[in-house]
Amino acid sequence: MFFGEHTYKVDDKGRVPLPPKFRREMKDGVILAKGTGEKCVAVYPVLEWKRMADSLATRAVTPAHLRKLNRAIFGSAFSTSFDGQGRIALPHPLRDHAGIADTAIVVGANNRVELWSEDEWKAEKASAEEQAAQIIETLESSQ
Amino acid sequence: MFFGEHTYKVDDKGRVPLPPKFRREMKDGVILAKGTGEKCVAVYPVLEWKRMADSLATRAVTPAHLRKLNRAIFGSAFSTSFDGQGRIALPHPLRDHAGIADTAIVVGANNRVELWSEDEWKAEKASAEEQAAQIIETLESSQ
DNA sequence: CCCTTTCTCCCCATTTTTCCCCACAATTGT
DNA sequence: ACAATTGTGGGGAAAAATGGGGAGAAAGGG
């Protein structure tokens, strides 16, 4: 389980540290993938990612469908691990996708970790909080 | 398992490098074939390709059917291996089929690798991601 | 049948990138 | 206050990306 929001520098070699607590849950290696829908990079512990990939693959209805699905799932995923200082290297396609320059916001999101650029995160957080507030409103008014 | 999306130059002799991780899984040689259905080149490790060809052959319903199948499978397949720099040479028929000019997108898709032209990949990726997103939606909402 | 041309394959060279290691400052916990 | 951990920055060795050169095989035309 990953919690919290942390800010880290991305050095000019594209390396990002993760919080020590996160590393300990990911020492077997991680899978980097594009955040589905959002402009961020998703970081999964390998086991968690395999579980997800399997449950997706079983939804394929035809061979052509499965090929396409594999392309989407595996094509956007990169396998990597930590260096001696607890950093991971961001592949260029992913860094571009998330628009991450020299600062990354590292966000714990239950079963995965997400990396955001400062700008995208600010926008996402604002809209997330607004939506959450609305949901809470409707919940409370229906009591 | 093949992961990720990588961009490589195709030199004027039609040679394409593959990522080092892919080479290590393919050092016994590879089979190049037309992507079934899609405008791409499929690259299989020999063992994986044999497994596939066998499983197809056992489903042939008549001898004539089997002959036709063999022609289709083996006729468009090329056996090759890596040169000293980790490149494979693309036979002309395949390069034409995939419309690959001077840049190839190398996509890991689980048990195989695919080579795409920039344009075809852009289109395919968009539709593949859309499909995946739909499935993810249904997964999440069914939880 | 032989010569020419093309293509393939293998080797070498250069630049770029990646990876692994070390160093130091800042922070945390004891 | 001290020791250990963590954030940040680089240096240097190794690997990888890219580009050609040239020998030999295959193809094609006279």
Question: What tens digit of pLDDT does each residue of B12-48 get?
Answer: 899 999 999 999 999 888 999 988 789 999 999 999 9
Contact A15, A89 (CB under 8 A): yes
- Reply yes or no on whether the pLDDT at A129 is more than 80: no
Size of interface A-B (CB pairs under 8 A): 70
For domain A5-118, the CATH architecture is: 3-Layer(aba) Sandwich (3.40)
Contact B131, A59 (CB under 8 A): no
Model confidence band, residue A143 (pLDDT cutoffs 50, 70, 90): low
Torsion of CA A77, B134, A51, A94, to 10 degrees: 20
Q: Is A76 touching B (CB cutoff 8 A)?
A: yes
Nearest chain A CA: its distance from B3 CA (Å): 5
Model confidence band, residue B116 (pLDDT cutoffs 50, 70, 90): very high
Average pLDDT of the segment spanning B65-70: 86
- Reply yes or no on whether the pLDDT at A66 is more than 90: yes
Nearest CB partner across the interface for A68, out of B3, B21, B131: B131
Nucleotide nearest to B21 (CA to C1'): D16
Least confident window among A30-44, B47-61, B68-82, B129-143:
B129-143
Q: What percent of chain A has pLDDT over 90?
A: 63
Beta carbons of B135 and A69 less than 8 Å apart: yes
Domain residue ranges in chain A: 5-118
Class of domain B5-117: alpha beta
Contact A110, A46 (CB under 8 A): no
As a whole number, the mean pLDDT across chain A is: 90
